[in-house]
Chain A
């Protein structure tokens, strides 16, 4: 009783002391008319609402650093993509589009020449020139071997400044995936700023060429960006972006419902109906870039899974469509091959669920009564893993394959893969590379995550070709051949592409989830311009 009374006193005090500015900001009060809350529902619009200039984005974690050469997580990339710009970026239809670069040409297979757009300035009014690009890439070269995410796969030997706006990358090996690599969050930072500050300061105060500049970073709470009024691409309509860090999904959705958020990251399948019920919000989803698969061990040769027929049977034996529909709220897209669209071969064969065919293939491989295997996994790697793993075990039981789940701690799982001590099956995910060679980079025989050890000669040949052939047409031919080899040889059980799902304020326009979990607020050059009503 006393507790209740005290609580009541607190609440009354809270109400009494409430300041005017404590009222929910963000979206306007919920329309009382019959909005459905679902995407595409009818929305009677009595009058035009004024455009909002502050956007609140709820991320699930805080950035580690805002120094682009060390940034690996989604929170930091989403802030940096608005503060900085790279030479290229990934556009809505997953194509690579120039941003700071105006043009490029391949001089020979070891030399790439780029020309920068003229007149671009950093946020501290210093000019963007070839020397600045050289500085940025040389900084990553000097720091290779640390937690530097730019250095891998780029093969840069030296950078030559040709004139004020032209520079050349000289590479150690042919690097046909160069554009995709430099479009992958390689944001240019202003050299004099980086040189004059300590690494700690650089990590906290990025100065790029983007449409927004850092205004404030409150540790553990939020990062605030403000519009860069001198932005070379135009004047951003949204003047301030507030990125808040809220680890708990339920809390993020409650903030969206209260009107305190415009975009909520990482809405899980279970929460989609909750967001759809909010009158002022909608669900936006797109085909994500993260591939979810079961790696199948190919070595040693006496393993049942070393036989191609068994691997194909394991692909026919999982009812992927049912899992996607019933467990993933129908938001995930079936995975056909490690190489993804737009580089995927048209009309690749699909392993439709066919338990009879699976049994037949098992019999053909010499296992008419099936066999027993273990499946390694660490939980939390992908959406609803606990649930779909059970469904997979059940599906395999129907074709005579007894699967024992071996749930491991993430680090132990990674270690087992690296030491090639993993079980016959393992659940894993891999991010998209937006290039055939980058899509299969973790299938390199010595890659730490390569627990399947799929190494038929035709695979190794194709793998090498797409990493070295610069001629686009010839490279595509090899890429298609390699995709056939992988579809037929089935190094993985191809599951699905993890969806990107957001809860979004209905007044928000111009945001298209594009598979890389990046929120580009003002990129006129790729047509990404977000506005708020």
Chain B
């Protein structure tokens, strides 16, 4: 077990290193950053001077290793836009994004489990079709559109919720519901298929045959065993929620990392983009690691494999 964890940790470090290289190169390759940062009427000399000040005139590999050296120590450099250290800027926005992501995940689970279980138990019935229809809708609806529709209906027409920004937990509802649609859909479908597979097993028939109530069969025998693959997906969904928050935070003016990332990309604020992307990727990789380790506890087959 210990070796497995160490192996996975080692892989995680490699993944992060690879990621750092991609993040660094892709952004550096897109354009002449110094020219973009200067006012439109800047002379070539002024642009050259800025390039020198920012160290962008050095060979790429020198820039990469010097940047990586800083990153290891938690120093992503100063934001070009804010003239403040990039990592604290991103970290300051992280709680808002996590709050949104975790709430969305909770909503997703609250909806997805009953939906998936009902669909499996009443397979082929109208309940199943409705549940899966809803899941399909959740999977395919664009966050951007749903966000604006919620604003229009709940914020404006019925005046039930605040439209944008932060301030109270009421502000959280619409962005979290918008963000929850995709994980809700995917989890519901997975719960349904997992439950269906388990419900067809011999031990379920045995449980029913020994006279257990259907509720107990579903809850104790089926759901518990169906949980194993679902945990993996829930973990991955948490990571993808961070990506989804980019659109949702912009629609609802939610002051999280997603909004900062979009603004920084537009303004070519490399240190902030690099810090945000690496941090989000890091969280994603970390969640994966935790899920992998958790998996080994949940599923004895993995432990003995």
Contacts and interface: CB of A to CB of B under 8 A. Distances in A.
Interface of A: 1-3, 6-7, 10-11, 14-15, 17-19, 22, 24, 61-62, 64-65, 67, 70, 72, 144-147, 149, 152-153, 199-200, 203, 218-222, 244-248, 250-251, 254-255, 257-258, 260, 409-412, 414-415, 418, 430-431, 441-442, 446-449
Interface stretch (B195-203, B215-223, B261-269, B280-288): B261-269
B35 A448 contact: yes
A502 B95 CA distance: 33
B164 interface: yes
B185 to A, nearest CB: 10
A409 B250 contact: no
Nearest to B93: A220
Contact of A411 (B49, B148, B268): B268
Given A65-B81, A254-B152, A414 B267 contact: no
Interface in B102-141: 107, 110-111, 114-115, 118, 127, 130-131, 134
B82 A3 contact: no
A360 B248 CA distance: 54
Contacts of A152: 39, 41-43, 46
Contacts of B58: none
Interface of B: 30-32, 35-44, 46-47, 49-50, 53, 80-84, 89, 92-93, 96, 107, 110-111, 114-115, 118, 127, 130-131, 134, 148, 151-152, 154-156, 159-166, 168, 170, 173, 177, 184, 250-253, 255-256, 259-260, 262-263, 267-268
Nearest to B144: A248
A431 B177 contact: no
B170 A246 contact: no
B164 A199 contact: no
Nearest to B148: A250
Contacts of A410: 31, 36
Contacts of A19: 168
Max count, chain B CB within 10 A of own CB: residue among A24, A145, A200, A245: A145
B159 A251 contact: no
Contacts of B81: 64-65
B40 A431 contact: yes
A446 B259 contact: no
Nearest to A430: B40
Given A258-B159, A446-B43, 6 more contacts: A3-B134, A147-B39, A222-B165, A414-B32, A441-B41, A448-B42
Contact of B84 (A146, A203, A411, A442): A203
Contacts of A409: 30-31
A146 B53 contact: yes
B111 A6 contact: yes
Contacts of B148: 248, 250-251
Contacts of B41: 152-153, 441-442, 447, 449
22 contacts: A3-B134, A22-B168, A65-B82, A67-B83, A70-B83, A146-B49, A146-B50, A146-B53, A147-B39, A221-B165, A221-B253, A247-B263, A254-B151, A254-B164, A255-B163, A258-B156, A410-B36, A411-B31, A414-B32, A414-B36, A418-B35, A448-B35
Contacts of A14: 160-161, 170, 173
A6 B156 CA distance: 21
A147 B41 CA distance: 12
Contacts of B110: 6
Given A409-B31, A448-B44, A11 B160 contact: yes
A2 B111 contact: yes
Given A14-B173, A251-B251, A442 B40 contact: yes
6 smallest CB-CB distances across A and B, nearest first, come from A411-B31, A220-B255, A145-B49, A64-B81, A246-B253, A221-B255
Contacts of A222: 165
Contacts of B30: 409, 411-412
B148 to A, nearest CB: 5
A506 B67 CA distance: 52
A158 to B, nearest CB: 20
Nearest to A19: B168
Nearest to B110: A6
Contact of B251 (A6, A248, A260): A248
Contacts of A254: 151-152, 155-156, 163-164
A218 B251 contact: no
B259 A220 contact: yes
Given A248-B253, A255-B163, A149 B39 contact: yes
B36 A411 contact: yes
A248 to B, nearest CB: 5
A480 to B, nearest CB: 23
A250 B151 contact: yes
Given A10-B173, A17-B170, A418-B35, A203 B163 contact: no
Contacts of B267: 64
Given A3-B134, A246-B164, A251-B251, A65 B36 contact: no
